[in-house]
Amino acid sequence: MDNRVYIIGRDSVPQYLRLDAGEELAMTLVVPPGTDVQLALEIDLTGPGASLDLAGLYLCREAERVDLRVLVRHSSGGGTSRQLFKGIVGGTARAAFDGLIYVAQDAQKTQAYQENHTILLSDAARVESRPQLEIYADDVQCSHGATTGYLNPDELFYLRSRGIPEAEARRLQMVAFLAPVLRRLPEPLSEEIYAGLS
Amino acid sequence: MDELIKDLSAQEYKEGFVTEVDQEYVPKGLNEDIVRLISAKKGEPEWLLEFRLDALRRWQRMTPPQWGHLKLPRIDFQDIIYWAAPKRPEDRPNEIDPALMETFDKLGIPLREREMLAGVKPKGEVAVDAVFDSVSVTTTFRKTLAEKGIIFCSFSEAVREHPDLVRKYLASVVPVGDNFYAALNSAVFSDGSFCYVPKGVKCPMELSSYFRINAAGTGQFERTLIVADEGAQLSYLEGCTAPMRDENQLHAAVVEIVVEKDADVKYSTVQNWYPGDAQGRGGILNLVTKRGICKGTGSHLSWTQVETGSAITWKYPSTILKGDYSSSEFYSVAMTNNWQQADTGTKMIHLGRGTRSRVVSKGISAGHSQNSYRGLVQMGPAAEGARNYSQCDSLLIGSLCGAHTFPVIRNQNPHAVVEHEATTSKISEDQLFYCNQRGIAPEDAVALIVGGYAREVLSRLPMEFAVEAQKLLSLSLEGAVG
């Protein structure tokens, strides 16, 4: 399966995608630091057995405004969708993620999952997460999870007690947090993001 | 399984009877004169009339909220009788109308204080405030409670006898203009319960209010105010029923709870308003605002609700966690069948440091019903070290219903943690097969599985209520599976 990578602010991102019977799509969205964005993306699984693998990450360090809205619509049965969005938000940035999984009445045997995790780095940063499920079919497995939190001080202590300087240790924590999305990116891009975490 | 899910038959709603009592009404409609009339009938002081009129003026400028995942029928607010009360002898409370007594007996609500046996301590007793349409008919065990300094009476009496307390706390948690229905309630509220537990007092028995809509063409607009002073402790239950009618009836209540330093309040609801028939005709529109504030350090407020009734439920019991290290919980089971719609959930607003909250919501939808969880968890800038965990599960029975989850998480503090998870599933064939194989009939098996699914919430209810709620759940499920 091809993995399409879109860098917000550099690439143009489609607003609407349709997946027909048996079609598969893997897609990764990257919001690099310093990008203000308001993005609305709708993906419609219209054919039976379509499959979507969607991931995204957003990094905000200063005064960015990031607003991501993702609608995944299962209009046909037997489809699978997976979403994973991760964000690190610092400075005075505001980041919002709004993700809706819609399962129509005929879309039996749908499997849909969504996750959104964010880490706050500063007092003035704000995050909002609205993971939503709208389900009209009964024979489905759907779940979502959302967390917001901070870099674990125990982990930091562990790394520092092993001689890793604090700044480097924090960077490692962030890399580990982002890893599930980072490893979907081509190497030059993930290198660039590594370098940007400091 | 497909065979099991057959069309839903009308379930029996055993509280659907009407009591014949002489009632007096105010004229239909809502305007300043009606508000003045209601206030005059209750013999209210000037300040309360002003409060009502202010609310009415605000309400007239407001529009009903549209954001719920609900199909609300248009409500003609001028076609409702805002006050109805059973006529009764003036020398209350010597005698309660036998018809009323019978009504509450039939509903299993004890209005007579059971005589105590010499030397035997009464166990598991409940003080009841019974509200029939717009007035409170009786409040039991008032003397026992008064000995401890606890005030438990109808709202109207509280206005007469404890005006200072009422004035201090009324609308302090739910402001007059909070929302459309809260403003409506503030203008026309009839009766409800008032409860004050003084400093350091532990309430020796469960307090409870029982609401009954009886008259046709009316709405019920009760107002409940609960105050737990420093270190106080109380557990409060609320129950409600209404007759079966083809028209919708409006129920717009406001509940306010104030929890001071180190106090502990537990508020439980078993909501069983008439849900409408199998074709979706009639039923109560339950549009309620409930909110509590954990005002002081270390205070605690716990909400438990079992929602099985009402054609439409629009209700979000919420907690403002203002005191440092205060905590709150929300446990909910919402069951919808036939054409019922529920949009319910909670708001946890963390303001103080180290505040904690936990949300457990279990939705069950069957028939053609729609069941939504809607919630907000907010971590304010000062909510250092605050923590929330939410879990919202939905269970679907049959392919024509819907289950939805609309949570909002807002974090403004880098040292606060919020976790939310939600799942949607149905009762699996395997689970049913396992039960059937062991000789458990399909309907019992479903009741068993649903009971297990809702257990975490039901176990939070006081004993007698838990049994009642379990029964209510299986009754509501009746006809959902063949």
Average confidence score pLDDT of chain B: 85
Residue B472 confidence class, pLDDT cut points 50, 70, 90 = confident
Q: Is the confidence at residue A91, as pLDDT, over 60?
A: yes
Residue B182 confidence class, pLDDT cut points 50, 70, 90 = very high
Q: Could you say which of B400, B414, B419 has the minimum Cβ distance to residue A150? A: B414
Residue B331 confidence class, pLDDT cut points 50, 70, 90 = very high
How many angstroms away from the CA of B342 is the closest CA of chain A? 14
Q: What is the mean pLDDT of residues B287-312?
A: 93
Q: What is the mean pLDDT of residues A45-59?
A: 95
Residue B240 confidence class, pLDDT cut points 50, 70, 90 = confident
Tell me the sheet residues that pair with B418: A148, B388
Per this entry, what is the length of chain A? 198
Nearest in space to B313 (alpha carbons), one of B335, B280, B330: B335
Q: Is residue A88 part of a domain?
A: yes
Nearest in space to B221 (alpha carbons), one of B173, B258, B248, B181: B181
Which of B394, B424, B425, B426 is best to mutate for the A interface (most A CBs within 10 A)? Answer: B424
What's the rounded Cα separation, in Å, for the pair B474 and B464? 16
**CA-to-CA dists, residue A198 to A177, A181, A194, angstroms:** 14, 18, 8
Q: Is the confidence at residue B89, as pLDDT, over 60?
A: no
- pLDDT for B139-173, tens place per residue? 778 788 888 899 998 898 899 999 999 999 999 99
Query: What sign results for the dihedral spanned by CA atoms B142, B145, B148, B152?
Result: negative
Q: Could you say which of A126, A130, A143 has the minimum Cβ distance to residue B407? A: A130
Nearest in space to B51 (alpha carbons), one of B223, B216, B218, B212: B223
Judge contact between B68 and B344, C-beta under 8 A: no
Residue position matching structure tokens 């063409």? B217
Instruction: Supply the Cα-derived Rg of chain A in whole angstroms.
Output: 18
The count of C-alpha atoms lying within 13 angstroms of the C-alpha of B195, restricted to the half-sphere facing its C-beta, is 36
pLDDT at B6: 40
Q: Could you say which of B394, B399, B416 has the minimum Cβ distance to residue A105? A: B399
Residue B95 confidence class, pLDDT cut points 50, 70, 90 = low
Judge contact between B253 and B192, C-beta under 8 A: yes
What's the rounded Cα separation, in Å, for the pair A93 and A64? 5
Please give the residue of chain A at the shortest CA–CA distance from B421: A145
**CA-to-CA dists, residue B177 to A43, A45, B74, B369, angstroms:** 40, 44, 21, 31
Question: What contacts A42, CB < 8 A, 6 or more positions away?
Answer: A15, A16, A17, A70, A71, A72, A73
Residue A14 confidence class, pLDDT cut points 50, 70, 90 = very high
Distance of CA B91 to the CA centre of its chain: 31
How many angstroms away from the CA of A142 is the closest CA of chain B? 5
pLDDT at B119: 34
pLDDT at B105: 65
User: Do B420 and A147 count as a contact with CB atoms less than 8 A apart?
Assistant: yes
Which residues of chain B does A74 touch, with a Cβ-Cβ cutoff of 8 Å? none
Q: What is the mean pLDDT of residues A106-110?
A: 92
Domain that holds residue A84: 2-150
Judge contact between B107 and B122, C-beta under 8 A: no
Residue B272 confidence class, pLDDT cut points 50, 70, 90 = confident
Residue A35 confidence class, pLDDT cut points 50, 70, 90 = very high
Distance of CA A159 to the CA centre of its chain: 27
Q: Is the confidence at residue A160, as pLDDT, over 60?
A: yes
Residue B85 confidence class, pLDDT cut points 50, 70, 90 = confident
pLDDT at B107: 61
Please give the residue of chain B at the shortest CA–CA distance from A143: B423
- Which tops the pLDDT comparison, A89 or B274? A89
User: Do A129 and B408 count as a contact with CB atoms less than 8 A apart?
Assistant: yes
Count of domains forming chain A: 1
Nearest in space to B236 (alpha carbons), one of B219, B262, B257, B215: B257
What's the rounded Cα separation, in Å, for the pair B31 and B34? 5
User: Do A147 and B415 count as a contact with CB atoms less than 8 A apart?
Assistant: no
What's the rounded Cα separation, in Å, for the pair A34 and A146? 24
Identify the helix (H) or strand (E) that includes residue B443. helix B442-458
Q: Buried b vs exposed e over B98-123: b needs ≥16 C-beta within 10 Å?
A: eebbebbeebebebebeeeeeeeeee
Task: Write out the residues of chain B at the interface with chain A, using a CB-CB cutoff of 8 A.
Answer: 69, 379, 381, 394, 396-426
Q: Is the confidence at residue B256, as pLDDT, over 80?
A: yes
Q: Is residue A70 part of a domain?
A: yes
Task: Give me the numbers of helices (H) and strands (E) for chain B, helices first please.
Answer: 10, 24
User: Do A143 and B422 count as a contact with CB atoms less than 8 A apart?
Assistant: yes
pLDDT at A105: 92
Ranking A132-136, B100-104, B271-275, B473-477 by mean pLDDT, the lowest is B100-104
- pLDDT for B403-420, tens place per residue? 999 999 999 999 999 999
Q: Is residue A66 part of a domain?
A: yes
Nearest in space to B348 (alpha carbons), one of B274, B268, B420, B251: B420
Residue B452 confidence class, pLDDT cut points 50, 70, 90 = confident
User: What is the ipTM for the molecules in this complex?
Assistant: 0.89
Which of A61, A135, A140 is best to mutate for the B interface (most B CBs within 10 A)? Answer: A135
pLDDT at B340: 92
Please give the residue of chain B at the shortest CA–CA distance from A107: B399
- Which tops the pLDDT comparison, A16 or B140? A16
Q: Is residue A184 part of a domain?
A: no
Question: What contacts A166, CB < 8 A, 6 or more positions away?
Answer: A156, A160
Q: Is residue A160 part of a domain?
A: no
Q: Is the confidence at residue B118, as pLDDT, over 70?
A: no
How many angstroms away from the CA of A1 is the closest CA of chain B? 28
Which residues of chain A does B410 touch, with a Cβ-Cβ cutoff of 8 Å? 126-128
Q: Buried b vs exposed e over B367-397: b needs ≥16 C-beta within 10 Å?
A: bbbbbbbbbbbbbbebbbbbbbbbbbbbbbb
pLDDT at A154: 94
What's the rounded Cα separation, in Å, for the pair B431 and B425? 13
pLDDT at B22: 74
Q: What is the mean pLDDT of residues B417-446?
A: 90
Q: Is residue A139 part of a domain?
A: yes
Q: Is residue A36 part of a domain?
A: yes
Which of A98, A122, A138, A147 is best to mutate for the B interface (most B CBs within 10 A)? Answer: A138
Sequential DSSP letters for B279-334? T---EEEEEEEEEEEE-STT-EEEEEEEE---SEEEE--EEEE-STT-EEEEEEEE
pLDDT at B100: 63
Q: What is the mean pLDDT of residues A169-176?
A: 94
Q: What is the mean pLDDT of residues B25-52?
A: 90
Q: Is residue A174 part of a domain?
A: no
